[in-house]
Every structure is written in structure tokens, then in C-alpha cells.
């Protein structure tokens, strides 16, 4: 019985939230980004302020480009580059380490205009994995390159290569020590992603991550698996996910949201909610969230964790940054 008021409250909050981030008019452009989902445990007020500020800066990078007419794929990629270079997210510099203490990074992007996609997985020395994903998409007949092959390709494309220690920060080294001592559980927080609708009606999605902290050596998550953590199709939606990657792969989360819209005529909000709350929630695992923008610039940001770092803006003047529900 006590669950009923809670359910009513969640439903009301969801309705209010949806009204705040969408209008009935088609947006000229729209952008949403995330910095991962997870638990709020241990976040101090100053840390929270710091993250709000970072999200705003990342958003500003994207909105400035969109106002000048940049392409969705360039905006999504550039926002992710900014977040990869920021040491406070689990992507690029600041990425988590695996059980061996090594950083292994995954990234992907997809262009909704022609369904072209590029991804890299398990890379250890490419400073910006999302740039390598872009080269895979544009300069090869492939979608996904892994490990040493991906690194050799990135180096030959002229990308900046770095020693694995480049990605380390004191926070991540302390985190793996605590996981090894079984004082902390692996937490999937801090992945970054961005979805964009540009002025020409093109959608794009980009996602980058160090994966789950303490993951097994060689483990690949959902991020570089097109249709799991990353997807874009101009006819429907662009999606970037964050959370327990194994669930996202098994449920084909990003493609499922697209499919509900394409085959069943769901709105972006309905599709995202259906997948996160009725599908992912029924599986064993720690959950996560998605950010989505549809072909009309409508936004959905759904998560079943305590928090999801996120920011959004549209040409029509909607703009926000949030962490909690
Ligand atoms: N989805 C990522 C992975 O499983 C982790 C995350 O989103 O934080 O690799």
C-alpha cells in the first residue's frame, strides 16, 4: 500500500519534467548531453556544484556550434572530445581502470542521416577515442575496430597517442584500490554522451567511456555496440546510454527506443520510459539511463539510478542542467 503514493509522486514528477523540457513546436536544433548515471553516495555540495559547472561548459561548447549552423555529427563529437579531455568524467582522461589497473576505453558515434557509424573498443593509448571512432566511420569500410588494430589505425590517421598513464587521475587509482580491498563495488558512473538535432534536420549520437571500474581485462561494454549504447536515425531518434553495459547490450537499448518509435509510433518520452522502466528494470543489474532527441527536437532523459549528470538546450530557448531526478 505504501508504494502507491510513491508511484503517484514519480508519475507526477515525470509529467512535470516532460512539460519542462519539451514544447509542441518543432525545434530548429536541440542538444542533450550526459556525464553518466549512478549513485549519489558521497557527493559533497561543492562536488555537485563543480559537476553542474562542467555540464554547463560542455553544453556551451555544443550550443555555440549549433547556433552557427554546425552539423550534428560534428557537435556531438566535439562535445564528447571536451568531456574526454575533462579529468572528472569516466572517458578519456579520468577514465576508470580495469581489474589489472589499466585503462581500456570504448567510444562510438553514429550519423542519423546515412546510418553510418564508427567505433573503437578496448583501446589503451588513443587520447580521444571518439576521434578514432569518427575516422573508422569516415575512412574505413568498417564499423568497429578493437585494441591494437584500432590504435595502429588511429596513429596512422594522425591522432594524438598517449601512454596509458595519461588517463590516470588520483581519484581513479584510489577507486581501484578500494574495489580490490572490497570496500567499494564497481560503479558505472561517469560515461559521457551527446545527442544532437542540427538546423538541417540531421540527428547524431556520440558516446565515450572507460567502462565499468574494475571490469575484467578485455571486457567491452555497450558504448561501442551500435544499437546498445549508441544509435541515431534521422527518421526517429538519436540515443546515448549510460549504465550497466551488459544490460544495455542484452536489451539493445538504443535500437529498442528507435524501434518503438519507428514500428509502434511511440513518442520519444514513451519509448525511453518503456525501455528504462519496463524492460531494464525487470533485469538483474545496476541500471542506468538514456538521453534522446527526436527528429522534431523533443528530448527525453530517463534513468532508474539515483542520479544522471545531464544538460540540454534547444533553439527555442529551453535550457537546463540537472543531476538528480
Ligand atoms: N555503459 C558503460 C559500460 O558499461 C559504463 C557507464 O555508462 O558508466 O561500459
Q: How confident is the model over 26-59, as pLDDT tens digits?
A: 999 999 999 999 888 888 999 999 999 999 999 9
Which residue lies with its CA nearest to atom 9 of ligand 1? 211
What is the value of pTM for the model shown? Answer: 0.92
Residue 285: pLDDT band with limits 50, 70, 90: confident
Our answer on whether the CB atom of 314 is closer than 6 Å to any ligand 1 atom is no
List b or e across 167-193, with b for residues whose CB sees 16 or more CB atoms inside 10 angstroms: bbeeebeebbeebeeeebebbbbbbbb
Angstrom CA distances, 8 to 2, 74, 302, stand at 11, 41, 17
The one catalytic residue among 18, 63, 191, 321: 191
Percentage helix, strand, coil, to 5, in the chain? 40, 25, 40
Mean pLDDT score of the chain: 92
Our answer on whether the CB atom of 291 is closer than 6 Å to any ligand 1 atom is no
d(CA 164, CA 312): 32
Our answer on whether the CB atom of 118 is closer than 6 Å to any ligand 1 atom is no
d(CA 32, CA 39): 21
The pLDDT of residue 2 is: 44
- Ligand 1: which of 80, 98, 217, 221 to mutate, most ligand atoms within 8 Å of CB? 221
pLDDT one-digit tens code per residue, 199-226: 999 999 999 999 998 899 999 999 999 9
Atom of ligand 1 nearest to the CA of 188: 8
Min mean pLDDT across 59-68, 127-136, 170-179, 259-268 is at 170-179
Q: 5: CA distance to ligand 1 center in Å?
A: 32
- R_g over Cα of the chain: 18
- Average confidence (pLDDT) over 167-184: 79
The pLDDT of residue 1 is: 41
Angstrom CA distances, 54 to 44, 176, 190, 200, 323, stand at 15, 24, 12, 28, 12
Residue 160 appears among annotated catalytic residues: no
- Average confidence (pLDDT) over 268-285: 93
List of domains in the chain: 4-324 (3.60.20.30)
Min mean pLDDT across 18-22, 44-48, 112-116, 225-229 is at 18-22
The pLDDT of residue 180 is: 74
d(CA 310, CA 288): 13
The pLDDT of residue 25 is: 85
214, 186 contact by CB (below 8 A)? yes
Amino acid at each position: 500500500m505504501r508504494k502507491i503514493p510513491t508511484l503517484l509522486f514519480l508519475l507526477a514528477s515525470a509529467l512535470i519534467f516532460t512539460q519542462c523540457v519539451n514544447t509542441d513546436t518543432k525545434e530548429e536544433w536541440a542538444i542533450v548531453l550526459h556525464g553518466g548515471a549512478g549513485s549519489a553516495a558521497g557527493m559533497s555540495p561543492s562536488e555537485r556544484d563543480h559537476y553542474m559547472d562542467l555540464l554547463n561548459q560542455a553544453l556551451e561548447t555544443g550550443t555555440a556550434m549549433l547556433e552557427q549552423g554546425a552539423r550534428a555529427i560534428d557537435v556531438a563529437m566535439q562535445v564528447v572530445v571536451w568531456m574526454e579531455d575533462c579529468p572528472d568524467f569516466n572517458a578519456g582522461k579520468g577514465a576508470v581502470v580495469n581489474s589489472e589497473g589499466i585503462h581500456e576505453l570504448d567510444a562510438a558515434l553514429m550519423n542519423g542521416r546515412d546510418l553510418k557509424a564508427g567505433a573503437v573498443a578496448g583501446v589503451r593509448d588513443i587520447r580521444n577515442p571518439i576521434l578514432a571512432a569518427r575516422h573508422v566511420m569516415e575512412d574505413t569500410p568498417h564499423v568497429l575496430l578493437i585494441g591494437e588494430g584500432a590504435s595502429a589505425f588511429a596513429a596512422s590517421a594522425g591522432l594524438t597517442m598517449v601512454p596509458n598513464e595519461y588517463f590516470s587521475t588520483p581519484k581513479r587509482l584510489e577507486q581501484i584500490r578500494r574495489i580490490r580491498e572490497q570496500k567499494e563495488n564497481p560503479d558505472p558512473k561517469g560515461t559521457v554522451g551527446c545527442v544532437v538535432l542540427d538546423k538541417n534536420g540531421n540527428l547524431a549520437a556520440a558516446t565515450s567511456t572507460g567502462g565499468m571500474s574494475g571490469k575484467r581485462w578485455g571486457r567491452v561494454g555497450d558504448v561501442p555496440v551500435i544499437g546498445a549504447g549508441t544509435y541515431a536515425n534521422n527518421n526517429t531518434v538519436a540515443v546515448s546510454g549510460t549504465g550497466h553495459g551488459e544490460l544495455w547490450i542484452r536489451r539493445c537499448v538504443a535500437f529498442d527506443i528507435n524501434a518503438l518509435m519507428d514500428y509502434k509510433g511511440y513518442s520519444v518520452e514513451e519509448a525511453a520510459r518503456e525501455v528504462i522502466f519496463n524492460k531494464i528494470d525487470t533485469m538483474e543489474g545496476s541500471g542506468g539511463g538514456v538521453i534522446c532527441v527526436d527528429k522534431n527536437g523533443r528530448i527525453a532523459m530517463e534513468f532508474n539510478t539515483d542520479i544522471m549528470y545531464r544538460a540540454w538546450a534547444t533553439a527555442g530557448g529551453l535550457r537546463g542542467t540537472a543531476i538528480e531526478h
